[in-house]
Amino acid sequence: MSKRKKAPVGKKGPAKIRAEQPPVAEVYSPEQTALHKKIFKFSTLAILLITVLLSLFSGINGDDEFQNDYSEKLTDYYLSLGADTSALYIEKGNMHFYGGFFDLTTGLINRALGFDEFDMAYHHVRHIFNAIIGVLAMLFVGLLAREIAGWRAGILALWFIFLSPRFLGHSLMNPKDIPFAAGFAIALYYMVVLFKSMPRPSWKTALGVALGIAMALATRAGGLLLFGYLGLFAGLDFLLKYRLKGLAQERKALLTYLTYGLGIAVTGYVLAILTWPAALADPIGHPLAALTEFSKLGIKIRVLFAGENLLSDDTAWYYPVLWIVKTAPLFTLLGFLGSIFILPAILKRYNTAAILLVYFATLFPVAYIIYKNSILHDGWRHLMFIYPSMVVIAAIFWVTLERFFKSRKTIQYVIYGVLGLLAVDAVLFIVRNPQYPYVYFNPIGGGIKGAYGNYETDYWGVSVRQAIDWMEAEGILSPEMQDTVTLGTTFFYNTSRLTRKRFNGKVKVKYVRFNTRYSEAWDYGIFPSRYIRGAHLRSGNWPNSKAIHEVTANGVPLLAIEKDENKYAYLGQRAMAAGNLTEAVAQLQKEVQEHPDNEVAWTSLSSAYISTGQYQQALAAAQKALAVAPDVESALLYEGLAYLNLGQQQGALSSFERLTRVNEEYYAAYYYMGLAYEASKNYRAAFDNAQKAIEANPGFKQAYQLAARALQALGDNQNAARYLEAAQKL
């Protein structure tokens, strides 16, 4: 048998069946290429300077309470060479499930500079580093688009992501989602370069992939996704180049793919866990446990979505999709959707594996989250890592569309004009709201005005800084003041860290819940819209008449500063707590006379009237509260109790049913509905509601007793005895 001769270098041998590779980028003249490089370079520099500057004016992100605590524990762990193990398990916030890249780096810098979290400089360090990482993500978005479709696409993608208010806003103060997105952008870019150069890639390219993976995994366990991307698309690239026959005939090339893939994976993994103490203690088990934890995102909180305040585990499957549609800039949305219609042309013109990779990196995570019914909150920030690839696709669409009409300049100018118009809304929003561009909504969502009362805006309380700045400018707060000023707020961490050292300890901060904000005495209240129900916001009654200032975005209030001068509501609630109901009624009446839009005072007054047996007055006060804020749970409860005590069962049932729609876990509402049904001799309905109350609160003794009475009335004494026995054990 004759031996097969090796094909000359550069020529295809008969056994080396390779797919013909399309060009990976447009070809320009040397002069054009040099110009594009300069534009790209100076654009990156300008974006870096602007982003870092903006970061200095950003407020504190509400989750920094957990991040900064983790940063200190990580710093202690490494400086003590592992002797301080507090970073290995952190119950509050589960921060040990996160990698430590960002928090360790900034923690070491702040420790070296002598800053603590009550210094504004401490937060400047974090924000500047956040901005640098954000710009790094933007840079690699531009490079990825350039690698696939040329310098024009790269420049366009770079500016697209910078002019995306949500991404830019998070780049100023989000130390989780931005480094995670940056890791993905870096890894995707180097994967494309790696596949392009296989089977003889540069070691620098391989290291680039590993570093991108390491950054993502050293931020969140979801970085493990990149191992899957690498394996899947390395396999696809091999098949596109060598076809199926290559598995048998190109053993050397196959071994190269396997070797590089394994080497990159191991290097990226090792680098990632170097800044993650809990993973160092359990290198395999802990990252996998963290991934499981994040895939279900077990924290349940109330979120404002499509006008409803829902628990985060009860949102519609399209929650992330709708958030993206309403908040991504129009040039990205239309570019991404448009690319689908010209996908055959895109696949024909550019590298197939690279195009499929960026589409997969955009679509797969969204599809997986929908499939797994994962819990999300705070919009789509947990999915921000898909945005870099989405922007790349959008940029490729626009340059491809332009090229379709390369011989028709008029149409090209129309495309430029349309693209410019699509960018106007996002650009103007950034210019008008540079401190918090992350609250942006595009025109599809009616802008931020259309979103107000329907979707969360400043969910992290970033605008607290602007509130403090205003109070200082107005002379309310001053480093030289002699008397202590007490601030009540729903964002304790942000407010306390911005005021303690700045005002030399003369500001006292108290945490209060918004719906019970007068349970504590304070001089001024700082209340972002985060914990205010959508119906209250839409009613137009917030900010109320006690507000002395609003922090706004495009005229929409993000935060209100209240002044509680006479403290009638607080004095009334204190009197109620002391059992002095006459005094309570007197104080609360003074409050509602001065501020008839104070729903908390009306609610407390209704409660006082119920306690004194004045049910008609209680009903009127509860309805006044509901006229101000239609979804106040306590007001709905007191309205129902007033109806119940007035013998109006239907009115009571209506109030309690509405309360269970507002809060499906409000066990007392089910109990009182059961009492109403019992009073009208509907014992089956009484039992059903008692059972719902028990499911919502298994320790609620009265619900078991109600269930037993209802069963006895239905003639089921055996099961009634079971419920009575359970009640006796409580």
Q: What is the tens place of the pLDDT at every residue in 658-677?
A: 999 999 999 999 999 999 99
pLDDT of residue 14: 44
pLDDT of residue 25: 56
Whether residue 3 lies inside any domain: the answer is no
For the segment 523-569, what is each residue's pLDDT rounded down to a tens digit? 999 999 999 999 999 999 999 999 999 999 999 999 999 999 999 99
Tell me whether strands 524-528 and 556-563 are parallel, antiparallel or unpaired. Answer: antiparallel
Whether 552 and 585 share a structural domain: no
Whether 175 and 91 share a structural domain: yes
CA end-to-end span of the chain: 90
- Residue whose C-alpha is closest to residue 638's, from 667, 603, 683, 668: 603
Whether 710 and 591 share a structural domain: yes
8 A C-beta contact, residue 669 and residue 696: no
How far, in Å, CA of 341 to CA of 605, rounded? 61
8 A C-beta contact, residue 329 and residue 165: yes
Show which of 563, 593, 609 is a domain's final residue: 563
How far, in Å, CA of 425 to CA of 416, rounded? 16
- Residue whose C-alpha is closest to residue 496's, from 484, 482, 510, 483: 510
Lookup: tokens for 216? 């993502």
Residue 507 burial by Cβ neighbours in a 10 Å radius (0-12, 13-18, 19+): buried
pLDDT of residue 377: 82
> By residue range, what is the domain housing residue 221?
30-432
Lookup: tokens for 416? 């430029």
Whether residue 7 lies inside any domain: the answer is no
Provide the 3-class DSSP secondary structure of residue 353: helix
- Residue whose C-alpha is closest to residue 64's, from 23, 2, 110: 110
Whether 113 and 218 share a structural domain: yes
pLDDT of residue 311: 87
Whether residue 443 lies inside any domain: the answer is no
Whether 613 and 545 share a structural domain: no
Lookup: tokens for 41? 């370079």
Residue by residue, DSSP assigns 24-42 as SS----HHHHHHHHHHHHH
How far, in Å, CA of 408 to CA of 254, rounded? 46
For the segment 280-327, what is each residue's pLDDT rounded down to a tens digit? 999 999 999 888 877 655 567 889 999 999 888 888 999 999 999 999
Residues 6+ apart with CB under 8 A from 305: 315, 316, 319, 455, 456
Whether 425 and 527 share a structural domain: no
Question: Would the pLDDT of 26 be above 70?
Answer: no
For the segment 47-77, what is each residue's pLDDT rounded down to a tens digit? 999 999 999 999 999 999 999 999 999 999 9
Unique residue bearing structure tokens 């001089």: 523
**Number of neighbouring beta carbons within 10 Å of residue 483:** 6
Question: Would the pLDDT of 335 be above 50?
Answer: yes
Whether 550 and 675 share a structural domain: no
Question: Would the pLDDT of 396 be above 90?
Answer: yes
How far, in Å, CA of 710 to CA of 704, rounded? 10
Domain count, the chain: 3
**Rg value, the chain, Cα:** 30
Which CATH number does the domain housing residue 602 bear? 1.25.40.10
Q: How confident is the model at residue 372 (pLDDT cuts 50, 70, 90)?
A: confident
Whether residue 303 lies inside any domain: the answer is yes
Lookup: tokens for 570? 């607080």
Whether 516 and 659 share a structural domain: no
Mean pLDDT of the chain: 93
Residue by residue, DSSP assigns 491-509 as -HHHHHHHHTTTTTT-EEE
pLDDT of residue 17: 44
pLDDT of residue 13: 45
pLDDT of residue 297: 56
Question: Would the pLDDT of 655 be above 70?
Answer: yes
Residue by residue, DSSP assigns 546-606 as TEEEEEEETTEEEEEEEE-SS-HHHHHHHHHHTT-HHHHHHHHHHHHHH-TT-HHHHHHHH
Q: Output DSSP code: residue 170.
A: H
Whether 317 and 228 share a structural domain: yes
Whether 49 and 180 share a structural domain: yes
Instruction: List the alpha helices (DSSP H) in 175-242.
Output: 177-197, 203-217, 225-242
Whether residue 447 lies inside any domain: the answer is no
Show which of 532, 563, 594 is a domain's final residue: 563
Question: Would the pLDDT of 21 be above 70?
Answer: no
- Residue whose C-alpha is closest to residue 565's, from 601, 604, 525: 525
Whether residue 18 lies inside any domain: the answer is no
How far, in Å, CA of 28 to CA of 19, rounded? 25
Whether residue 451 lies inside any domain: the answer is no
Whether 480 and 390 share a structural domain: no
Q: Taking residues 443-462, what's their average pLDDT?
A: 96
Question: Would the pLDDT of 691 be above 60?
Answer: yes
Whether 212 and 320 share a structural domain: yes
pLDDT of residue 27: 58
Whether residue 11 lies inside any domain: the answer is no
Residue by residue, DSSP assigns 247-312 as HHH-HHHHHHHHHHHHHHHHHHHHHHHTT-HHHHHSTTHHHHHHHHHHHHT----EEEETTEEEET
8 A C-beta contact, residue 151 and residue 36: yes
Lookup: tokens for 456? 């969360």
How far, in Å, CA of 617 to CA of 631, rounded? 20
Show which of 536, 563, 590 is a domain's final residue: 563
**Number of neighbouring beta carbons within 10 Å of residue 410:** 8
